[in-house]
Chain A
């Protein structure tokens, strides 16, 4: 193997690769990136056995060949090379070391045999469709904050994607919940996605996917089966196992007959919640909302620090209600609202509240109150 490649192109690919590779691995080969030089391109592969990524970068190949080298070390080296540098990669005589030359630097990296590297799982997918980067980004951004980090209910540790209909219109839906709040976002159902199984995409995959989306403006091709999902970008393919579990029947926790409707400026509410909750050092920083005709009074108090109150104008006509929320949960949701106004639809102080961006019907959030 011998090739020359532009530092920035290599760095970009290694950037994707190294974030898939786990830092501490009990299986040494999994710390390595597989390098495969042929047909004018360098292929890079990495896997943590649940998530695999394969990239291809155009490069000048003098001699085809393949090997594996420590991904984090390689990334660190390439990152520290000067901008615009050319990088030459080759194998030493026995093929035990990867030799990296650039300018006057020279590195020898211990290799592991390429045949030890786990083969990319062969794909057999039941559904394929393409979705715009913007749609995918929107689904991820507006749901990921609600993904659970608590691992006993592992089936909540990801975003649930499935095809369904909303008011008779076929949609692709993303749902995440941690049992305290829920976020549901939908986009028009892409061609080919009809009848796809309901799946759960793990959090790590979501995070890696999100980074890749930022670097492309194109459509992303998605293929999936009930155990795997594959995302294909221009020069990069990511394949992930899906969480093997059943996502709860979330529809039944989205209330439909709440009748106390509050509309309020989202930014004003967000800032006020942030201010008022500053009084409390608790991580669960509760804020209480006393809602009455035309106004909301936010309040918070802390046993040692004192108390805070702030009034905000709002549109509200129903009977007065007092309801408490975890301020961070509320802020997480308000942070998703892009339009001016947000609508909170409540029932009582112990029942789930539905929150929506008035200007955007594609997302719905449900928040369980806090009780003090």
Chain B
């Protein structure tokens, strides 16, 4: 008997691939426009007819293809974008698989006409449902024109699933918008043959010198003028990752989270981490059912992100998701607070160095003591005055965070008659390593005076650390105390996420969170870690579900304690930008002193820095 297994014919292979790559006209539009951008085009014009079902034409003025390249472009796995020895960890173009054109060619009538600038004529190649024609001479200005006709005519099954022309057209427009937002240096237009549906002119000279301004301009063209005038500029970097972009003012909000965009190394991606992080960043400012408009651009080492995880390349996997999330939250926070991020990302020592007056060069540089110093020598070199982490959580001794934050900052909050633990009589600064709180600045840092200097505490990082240490201590001491819920909270999730959580239910219970299944796709929260006080249990569970999906099955949650605590502290009762009164600040300082390892946050950054009086004197040239 002859074997029954045999290789599939090439056309079928391509068609199967097409099933993944090309799902609807918008996906073809995406591939073609990405190719144009990769080809260095300065303008890309797209025409659709019948929502792209009848015709998609993409014309660019990029580097074009000669006759030989044209023939290869429609072959599977032919790409100019990966060198022979390149690995997939260093992808700097939007395309890299050499799959798009052959896939499209296998399910439509594809025609490419192209002429490299400098060539004296153009060439054309056509592919009809997988059959590749010959390369023929043609007339065309420098650049490339790709036409896709009768998409899916070769695969009627898929044709059936397409929506109304209008819907498909909207999807395509959405795709072009995203790419246009990522590439302000390129002009884009979209037309349905009679009307211009979208027009984003290229940005010229001066504007391009200021990337923020150029981007804002482009975002205005795509998302509406109003956004451009109602946003703040985000610009933070940390550990080699840089996050820039624009975040809408809290007063500029929408009913859905649709207008929240993330671009990773120039690639529009959809990432569930984004919406959660944005929610965190805005939670002080926005009603729960309103959503901000945000466009963020993350640039990081291509090796730190895997783009090869989704057939349409619209999802990515970060090596350090916590870092990205932290960047998003703190970047937006800072932009909104109007605080210059530069202050926060500049290495403190460097700042001091620069701040020294002229003529003071011969003095030794002031010494900065970083978190942990009173216990021993300062941690070397990690001297960044860190950007405030956004998951501000409450200082101990507070379960009644302010609801109307403003009101309670003003009047002693009569609405919370709980017997607050009386603050100790103000300690003599001489007695305490972290001194006495003098002020809170940018609702983020506590300034404290010690006998011989000044301490700056990152209140959020410090609190997160305290939660972590407390959980650890409680775990070691026989378990984390759990507060039962009078009103158990039902949290709707997708089925997979609910299942993932439930397989970890025992582990979660040891961390203080007791959940049970509640039909498919939902869990009910019965008990929460008591040390979190009043907590948004649903938000906590959702975030944990997301994280579990990222961490995979095998890891023990205890090994991710720092992250679990971060997530939990994030959902504790008090948020970023929390205004603290003097008693609360002093309580936090005293707790830090009483807590081992409180000098650095869960991610190894200092929770406070200390400046000795002698150093300050040096700054002013008094020594």
Contact = CB atoms under 8 A, between A and B. Distances in A.
B533 A304 contact: no
B403 A149 contact: yes
Nearest to B289: A154
Contacts of A26: 251
Contact of A203 (B415, B535, B539, B573): B415
Interface in A284-317: 284, 286, 303-304
A275 interface: no
A286 B538 CA distance: 24
Nearest to A25: B406
A106 interface: no
B479 interface: yes
Contacts of A150: 401, 534-536, 573
A283 B531 contact: yes
Contacts of B478: 372
Interface stretch (B22-30, B92-100, B238-246, B480-488): B480-488
B486 A179 contact: yes
Contacts of B413: 207
B562 to A, nearest CB: 19
B404 A148 contact: no
Interface in B519-537: 527, 530-531, 533-536
A248 B486 CA distance: 11
Interface stretch (B162-170, B367-375, B469-477): B469-477
B474 A179 contact: no
A177 interface: yes
Interface stretch (B61-69, B270-278, B328-336, B390-398): B390-398
Given A152-B538, A274-B419, A328-B419, A282 B486 contact: no
Contact of B483 (A19, A149, A152, A368): A368
B594 to A, nearest CB: 7
A286 to B, nearest CB: 5
Contacts of B346: none
B89 interface: no
B415 A147 contact: yes
Contact of A253 (B406, B415, B481, B486): B486
A148 B530 contact: no
B376 interface: no
Chain A contact-residue range equals: 35 or more
Contacts of A144: 415, 417
B527 A371 contact: yes
A370 B417 contact: no
Contacts of B418: 145, 328, 331-332
Contacts of A369: 484
Given A151-B403, A179-B486, A281-B594, A19 B411 contact: yes
Interface residues of B, number: 52
A268 to B, nearest CB: 16
Contact of B486 (A157, A324, A328, A352): A352
A19 B406 CA distance: 10
A241 interface: no
Interface string B522-563: 000001001101111011000000000000000000000000
B410 interface: yes
A366 B486 contact: yes
A211 B484 contact: no
Interface in B242-295: 251, 283, 288
Contacts of A370: 481-484, 530
A160 B512 CA distance: 30
Given A23-B409, A282-B470, A332-B418, A149 B481 contact: no
A284 B410 CA distance: 26
A207 B407 contact: yes
B492 to A, nearest CB: 13
20 contacts: A19-B410, A23-B410, A24-B406, A144-B417, A145-B416, A150-B401, A151-B403, A152-B538, A177-B486, A179-B486, A207-B413, A210-B414, A253-B486, A284-B481, A303-B474, A324-B481, A331-B418, A371-B483, A371-B484, A372-B482
Given A152-B538, A248-B487, A368-B486, 5 more contacts: A23-B409, A149-B401, A179-B534, A180-B485, A283-B394
Interface of B: 251, 283, 288, 394, 396-404, 406-407, 409-411, 413-419, 470, 473-474, 476-479, 481-487, 489, 527, 530-531, 533-536, 538-539, 573, 591, 594
Interface of A: 19, 22-24, 26, 141, 144-145, 147-154, 157, 177-182, 203-204, 206-207, 210-211, 248, 253, 274, 281-284, 286, 303-304, 324, 326, 328, 331-332, 335, 350, 352, 366, 368-372
